[in-house]
Amino acid sequence: MKGGMRGTRPFYPSYACAMDLVANPAIRAALACGLAAAACAQAAIVEDKFMLPVRVTDSHDNEVRHSIMVTTFYDSDTPAPRPVVVINHGRAANAMDRSKLGRAQYSVASKWLASMGFFVAVPTRIGYGVTGGPDIEDTGDCSHKYYPPGYVAAASQTLQVLDRVRARDDVDRTRAIVWGQSFGGATAITLAAMNPPNVQLAVNFAGGGGGDPVGRPQNPCAQPMLKKLFADYGKTSRIPTLWIYTENDMYFGPKLPKVWFDAFVAEGGKGEYTRFPPDGENGHSLFTHAPEKWQPRVLEFLRANGYPNLPTR
């Protein structure tokens, strides 16, 4: 396969050993079929990556040109052309942690979406991980926060990723979903407010800004500005959005996200809000920590908003 790599077969190394331990022929046959099916299903997922030159304006109105890493996933057994999902990562509070991001993948969610027929693109934005570069998404320190330019910079990179993957023959240019976690979740709502052509939905996991679970737990910076930010987005957003949070989000707490959502809807935004019970020590990580909890809710949303025939995976 050109430019990609097939998935692995996680059961293969122990296959012979497992079969030797099973004496009953019927059970042996069933086990063999199950192992083979699992291996084939895994092998269908194609993961690839490429560098994309982008041009972005930072919070000081400076133009920045840089190449970003984009990781892609699709299932070779699903029919083309495939609708697109772009998943945006979050933002660590300090530069060292941002540099440690590595290559953004969200493999579990990406492969789940790919298995249902989507082409998934996960950019590692400027200022993070393997992409590196200046911190163009800086929104100022806690006492001088100004959020909009940071999210616009992230949204701009997302739109350029969309343009690139839509040039593929196996991608449906008329159907796309923007998706994100934390800073990336707020970026998804930023994009919804832009109403880019042929973007149908936005999915926001734990979106917001200015949070510090250690220094300011459940007490993000510049809260009135965040409420105004989402209210302003609601004035122009016209696509369905899904907002997912947890009761024990240590960045934003249980109440503020609903305040932001209500401000968004009050100004005309279309959305559905779901707050899950506490998850682990910090529910902010529900997206990566407990996909089995949120997948049914997301599947319900997608089926009700343009994708009625998605299979259950």
For the chain (313 residues), the mean pLDDT of every run of 10, in chain order, is 36 34 46 46 83 94 96 97 98 89 97 98 98 95 94 98 98 98 98 98 98 95 98 98 98 98 98 98 97 98 96 78
Query: Measured between alpha carbons, how far is 298 from 302 in angstroms, rounded to an integer?
Result: 6
pLDDT at 60: 85
Which of 186, 303, 304, 158 shows the shortest CA–CA distance to 243? 186
Choosing from 43, 58, 73, the residue where a domain stops is 43
Q: Produce one character per residue of 26-57: b if its CB has 16 or more CB atoms within 10 Å, e if not.
A: eeeeebeeebeeebeebebbbbebeebebebe
pLDDT at 27: 47
- Answer positive or negative: Cα dihedral of 216, 222, 227, 230: negative
pLDDT at 95: 85
If asked whether residues 173 and 32 sit together in one domain, one would say no
In the numeric block, which tokens belong to residue 149? 């330019």
Q: Which amino acid is at 305?
A: N
pLDDT at 231: 98
**C-alpha angle with apex 163: 157 to 169, nearest 5 degrees?**
145
Task: Say what the pTM is.
Answer: 0.86
Number of structural domains in the chain: 2
If asked whether residues 6 and 64 sit together in one domain, one would say no
Query: Measured between alpha carbons, how far is 54 from 275 in angstroms, rounded to an integer?
Result: 35
If asked whether residues 214 and 85 sit together in one domain, one would say yes
If asked whether residues 200 and 87 sit together in one domain, one would say yes
Query: Measured between alpha carbons, how far is 252 from 273 in angstroms, rounded to an integer?
Result: 15
Query: Measured between alpha carbons, how far is 268 from 259 in angstroms, rounded to an integer?
Result: 15
If asked whether residues 213 and 248 sit together in one domain, one would say yes
pLDDT at 42: 52
Which of 94, 59, 88, 89 shows the shortest CA–CA distance to 212? 94
If asked whether residues 36 and 55 sit together in one domain, one would say no
Structural domain boundaries enclosing 18: 1-43
